[in-house]
Structure 1
Amino acid sequence: MAGRGPQPKDPSRRARGNKDPVAQTVLRFEQAEAPELPTLQVMKDGELVEHTWPARTLDWWEMWKASPQAEHFSSTDWDFLLDTAVVHARHWSGDGAAAGELRLRVAKFGATPEDRARLRMQFAQADEADGRRPEGGRSARERRGTLHALPDPKASDS
């Protein structure tokens, strides 16, 4: 049963404080505008040839530009995402080997619910929904009243 056992040790008496031995560097955040996808060039027969972005990659890029995460992207984030767009284009052009790298790269930006949970991202709507919940701290019985069983209709048929 939860709550049983000895009290936790006083944190001041613990052998490990798990403090970071290196001080954290605090950077000034500068939001960057999303760039347009540049002209894509690929090496073909020893020379650079213009290549068309797959339609799926163009849609994917627009999705990232409009995503809530984009509000927190700096210039280096957009640069990394540009490189990721090239991987995305390779994948959607039939290069199955690009799938693993693509998955790893988009996970860094919180592409899936699991990625966002790992990165400790939460949409603001969830905070708003929590504020609309009925008064917290009340039990189900207090919120709904006492429940009573109805007589079994089959029992009265005999």
Structure 2
Amino acid sequence: MAGNGPAPQKDAIRRNKKPEFTQLIEDGSVHGPDLPEGVLPDGQQWHPVTRQWWENWRSSPQATRMLSAPDWDYLLDTALIHHNMWMNGRWDFASEVRLRVAKFGATPDDRNRLRAEIVTVPEVSEGLDTDVIQMSPYKNRRGRLLSEE
């Protein structure tokens, strides 16, 4: 089986260099183009699984690093293979799709190999008055202690 060897450990440390991971921030926005229409032979429509796969990539944190048209062109070529795999049951294409999406960091091992980690930003919720610590008693006590000196 072809591959690049084992993925590096996330906490692996060399004496001369610490590993640096790129943080991919999940921002919730959609990047890249829609799947183009009219590119499949005989007027076929994209397979529903391929449509969902494409939308998952567009909204993924990895998409924030796909800044140029060639990145999306390469993923579109992969989508054509993915479509053929699902439409015609050509599971022998699965290994090619796996190798291609690994370049974008599809799995945790792929991201570890690329030294990339996904960071999810927690949503800020409305705070309740009971969640806020009232600082005035502490300020008053501090003032009293400082004035006694």
- Structure showing greater radius of gyration is 1
- 1:96 paired residue among 91, 98, 118: 91
Displacement of 1:91: 1.2
* CA deviation string 1:75-101 (max 9, x = no partner): 111110010100110111111121111
Q: 1:125 to 1:62 in 2, by over 3 A?
A: closer
For 1:34 and 1:81, the matched residues in 2 are separated by: 10
- The higher-RCO structure (CA 8 Å, 6+ apart) is 2
The normalised TM-score by structure 1 is: 0.53
**Partner of residue 108, structure 2:** 113
Aligned amino acid, residue 73 of structure 2? D
- Structure 2 CA distance for partners of 1:38 and 1:124, relative to 1, 3 Å: same
Identity of aligned residues (%): 48
Q: Distance in 1 between matches of 2:53 and 2:116?
A: 20
Partner of 1:55: 48
Residue in 2 that maps onto 1:72: 65
Letter in 1 for 2:79: A
Number of the residue aligned with 1:4: none
Count how many residue pairs are aligned between Structure 1 and Structure 2.
89
C-alpha distance in 1, partners of 2:116/2:78?
Answer: 21
Runs of 4+ that moved beyond 6 A = none
Q: CA deviation at 1:124?
A: 2.5
Q: What residue in structure 2 maps to residue 145 of structure 1?
A: none
The match for 1:122 is 117
Aligned to 1:36: 34
> What TM-score does the superposition give when structure 2 sets the normalisation length?
0.56
Post-superposition shift, 1:41?
2.0
- Aligned CA distance change for structure 1 residues 52 and 125 (closer, same or farther; 3 Å): closer
RMSD of aligned Cα (Å) = 1.8
d(CA) in 1 for partners of 2:57, 2:90: 22
Matched, 1:84 2:78: yes
